[in-house]
């Protein structure tokens, strides 16, 4: 069964939640990972569609607030879509190099695509030096799950890095392209994930 995959399109921003002097340099948030949108009912089903939304992105790249700016005609779907948006992950916006809170408005292009489901584990780091050190240990035969329990800063640390079945299409293109080529029981080199670095391990490919 085909599920939803989305494309994020930049829109001009008439206002934002921070003061921006003319000389300031503001870098927009970059989408890192999406979550599933709710199933589409037949009343609004199309091969593809789009909607406009507004999100307040905090200094850590989390969505603090979200709302729909367009009405799909299905109030239940719109409400559930907002709940999905609240779980999206971004790089934080920066102003003159420092993370800031920013209100963004975007157009989300929704198309239907076969999901790519992979069973994954991860080890997340807040600096490249430690990520590279753990990566070298893995190359020398160290146990992935033991290292995840010791070094990972992700909440998945409590389950030895296990993420479960993940639709890798929901990651940014640079990460998803690597994961789609990753063979079972292999792990990646450290990948940049916003201000963090992640080593992923493929446990199993699932054909849906």
How does 176-186 read in b/e, with b if 16+ C-beta sit within 10 Å? beebeebeeee
Closest CA to 185 of 98, 120, 123: 120
Query: What pLDDT does 110 receive?
Result: 78
Q: Looking at the domain that runs over 3-113, which CATH code has it been given?
A: 3.30.2420
Burial of 193 (0-12, 13-18, 19+ CB in 10 A): buried
Ramachandran angles phi, psi of 137, nearest 5°? -65, -40
Q: Tens-digit pLDDT profile for the chain (208 aa)?
A: 444 444 444 343 333 444 444 556 889 999 999 888 887 765 555 667 788 999 999 999 999 999 999 888 888 889 999 999 999 999 999 988 899 999 999 988 877 777 889 999 999 999 999 999 999 999 999 999 999 999 999 999 999 999 999 999 889 889 999 999 999 999 999 999 988 999 999 998 875 5
Instruction: Locate 2 and state its tokens.
Output: 């085909």
Distance CA 196, CA 141 (A): 24
Q: Are 18 and 100 in contact (CB under 8 A)?
A: yes
DSSP label at residue 164:
E
What CA–CA distance (Å, rounded) separates 149 from 147?
5
> Any idea where the domains of the chain sit in the sequence?
3-113, 117-206
- CB distance 152 to 134 below 8 Å: no
Structure pTM? 0.76
Q: Which CATH number fits domain 117-206: 3.40.190.10, 3.40.50.170, 3.40.50.300, 3.10.50.40?
A: 3.10.50.40
- Measured CA to CA, the distance from residue 147 to residue 123 in angstroms comes to 8
């Amino acid at each position: 069964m085909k599920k939803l995959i989305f494309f994020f399109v930049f829109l001009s921003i008439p206002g934002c939640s921070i003061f921006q002097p003319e000389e300031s340099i503001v870098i927009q948030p970059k989408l890192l990972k999406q979550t599933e949108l709710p199933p589409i009912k037949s009343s609004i089903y199309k091969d593809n569609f789009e909607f406009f939304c507004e999100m307040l992105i905090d200094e850590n790249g989390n969505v603090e607030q979200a709302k729909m700016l367009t009405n799909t005609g299905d109030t239940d779907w719109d409400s559930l879509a907002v709940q999905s948006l609240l779980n999206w992950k971004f790089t934080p916006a920066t102003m003159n190099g420092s993370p800031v809170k920013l209100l963004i408005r975007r157009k989300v292009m929704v198309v239907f695509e076969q999901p790519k489901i992979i069973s994954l584990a991860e080890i997340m780091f807040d600096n490249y030096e430690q990520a590279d050190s753990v990566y070298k240990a893995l190359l020398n035969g160290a146990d992935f799950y033991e290292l995840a329990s010791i070094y990972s800063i992700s909440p998945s640390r409590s389950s030895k890095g296990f993420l479960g079945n993940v639709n890798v299409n929901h990651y940014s293109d640079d990460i998803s392209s690597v994961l789609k080529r990753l063979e079972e029981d292999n792990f990646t080199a450290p990948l940049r994930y916003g201000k963090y670095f992640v080593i992923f391990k493929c446990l199993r490919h699932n054909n849906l």
